[in-house]
Structure 1
Amino acid sequence: MQASSGLSPREEQIARAYAGGDTYQQIAESLCLAPSTVRTHLAAIYRKLQVSSKLELMSRLEGPAPDPKTQPELSSVISELALSLEEALAREKALSEVLRIISAAQGDLDQVVPSILNYALDLCDAEFGILFEYHGNSRFGARFSKGIPAPFQSWLAARGVFPVGPQTGLGRMVPQRDVIHIIDVKSEPLYQSDDPLRFATADLGGARSFVAIPMLAADRLVGAFTIYRQTVRPFSEDSLRLARMFADQSVIALENARLVSEARARAS
């Protein structure tokens, strides 16, 4: 397959996958890239092909090149704005789909939470995520996960419900009831200590940048929604807003499941 209008073979792969409907996360997984790298490639592809939508991209990949446009700087700005608009529309679509799944699931967390985690990883450019359930006294259990490396998954499964240290991300989140954003888990003094969770997160999970969002039902802490990047890449304010949104939807799902369970118990 010949590259279109100067696209590299890798750019051609990404362009065709994106035009065909794949998400950043799906493309990243198939090509062994970070989701943010996929986005960087797409921004370059939009500039090179001088397109401003996914439909134009699909048409451009299959048809002849248009007449060259002037003002390349303007074209670059337009392409970036077009890609940002498509990302905003993807966020709205994801939220609508999550709400639909929650409504239809009738308390089935196994159906809802993996979908929420999947959307969160895709839209926040993260490699893996975990929903921790809170059991009081700074104890957590990993109830759901998505994309987690097998060694870290096995470590969490072996421990079940376990206490976390006060200097860990989860440990800091408990009293603060606020988002904990760690730019590099290996750069903190805790990594040089013998804290088991920090070792497992960094060495078994390969995590570097990390965010934990408290899941609150009224004033009650019910869990933590955590997402991880395997490179040192801080989460932007936009990503944190998205993560909070998905954490809120996870709380709704957990509370729905609790109410359904209580109703079934009363009926039996």
Structure 2
Amino acid sequence: MLVETDLSPREQQIAECYAAGASYQEIAADLHIAPSTVRTHLSTIYRKLEITSKVELANRLNGVTAAPRSEIDHAAIISELALSLEDALSREKALSEVLRIIGAAQGDLDRVMPAILRYALDLCDAEFGILFEYRDKKRFHASFTLGIPAAFQDWLDDNGTFSVSDQTGLGRMVTQRAMVNIMDVKSEALYRTDDPLRFATADLGGARSFVAIPMLAADRLVGAFTIYRQSVRPFSEDALRLAQMFAAQSVIALENARLIDQREQTT
């Protein structure tokens, strides 16, 4: 692509890779720079070219002239880019902090898990979260919670390790070994039955939108990372990607704790 632009050689290189479909991580690996540096370059590229999407970027690189924008449009673009960059930096900072806590905690899950849940709830704009440890045969135990309403917490404490039905979010997650994203827990037929977990989730917890993410160590299911919103606000793709990242960090923390416990028993 030899289209005349105001981009530097490095910016041109990144723009072409991104427009061709490469991810931040792939570009960073090819150019031996950090993913955050790729994001910063893309923010500059978008501002210079006065574009707001990858489609527009590809068009500009292929010589398609963009329609003139008003000053209001320019301000909107700059504001959106600034917010996107801030979001990206917040995510990176949160994940870095979680990894630091995991590394320093020496298997202390009581220190690690609340931090993971706190960052997940903040970045995913959710009211409460639960980390369920998986026992077997569709049985779960709520090992860590954050922000959960007292009535739902009491229900979990009273029930300890409990079984879930196939129709619940957790039950479907076990069967599918995949993320289950429910737009509104009260809209499903299960809510109109006497399923105890769905009653506790919706009526005691006040949850409406919900996502359950399997926590896998290799092929072994070790738990479920769940976050809840108390209004009907489905989780976006960005929020789900974030939640999956925090679920992965939770697996790391659990496996670290297990290995440290094994080592101490051996010695």
TM bin (shorter chain): 0.7 to 0.9
Distance 1:163 1:94 in 2: 33
Once the two structures are superposed, what CA deviation does each residue of 1:178-222 show, in whole Å capped at 9, x if it has no partner?
000000000000000000000000001000000000000000000
Once the two structures are superposed, what CA deviation does each residue of 1:95-140 show, in whole Å capped at 9, x if it has no partner?
1000000000000000001000000000001100000000000000
Q: How does 1:125-136 map to 2 (within 5 A)?
A: 125-136=125-136
TM-score, length of structure 1 as denominator length:
0.73
Q: Which position in structure 1 is the counterpart of 2:90? A: 90
Q: How does 1:76-155 map to 2 (within 5 A)?
A: 76-155=76-155
Distance 1:74 1:231 in 2: 34
Larger radius of gyration: 2
Q: Which position in structure 2 is the counterpart of 1:171? A: 171
Counterpart of 1:162, as a letter, is: F
Q: Give runs of ≥4 in structure 1 deviating > 4 Å.
A: none
- 1:262 equivalent to 2:262? Answer yes
Q: Which position in structure 2 is the counterpart of 1:203? A: 203
Counterpart of 1:202, as a letter, is: A
Distance 1:116 1:78 in 2: 31
Distance 2:93 2:202 in 1: 33
Quote the offset at 1:227 in angstroms.
0.2
Quote the offset at 1:148 in angstroms.
0.4
Distance 2:96 2:191 in 1: 39
- 1:74 equivalent to 2:77? Answer no
Q: Percent identity?
A: 73
Matched residue SS, 1:194: coil
Q: How does 1:30-41 map to 2 (within 5 A)?
A: none
Distance 2:203 2:75 in 1: 43
Counterpart of 2:121, as a letter, is: L
TM-score, length of structure 2 as denominator length:
0.73
Matched residue SS, 2:184: coil
Distance 1:179 1:191 in 2: 20
Distance 2:74 2:164 in 1: 51
Distance 1:113 1:229 in 2: 19
Quote the offset at 1:76 in angstroms.
1.7
- 1:224 equivalent to 2:216? Answer no
Counterpart of 2:144, as a letter, is: F
Matched residue SS, 1:78: helix
Quote the offset at 1:73 in angstroms.
2.3
Q: Which position in structure 2 is the counterpart of 1:41? A: none
Q: How many residues align?
A: 198
Q: Is there any run of 5+ residues in structure 1 with no aligned partner, and where?
A: 1-69
Quote the offset at 1:81 in angstroms.
1.4
Matched residue SS, 2:207: coil
Q: Is there any run of 5+ residues in structure 2 with no aligned partner, and where?
A: 1-69
Q: Which position in structure 2 is the counterpart of 1:213? A: 213
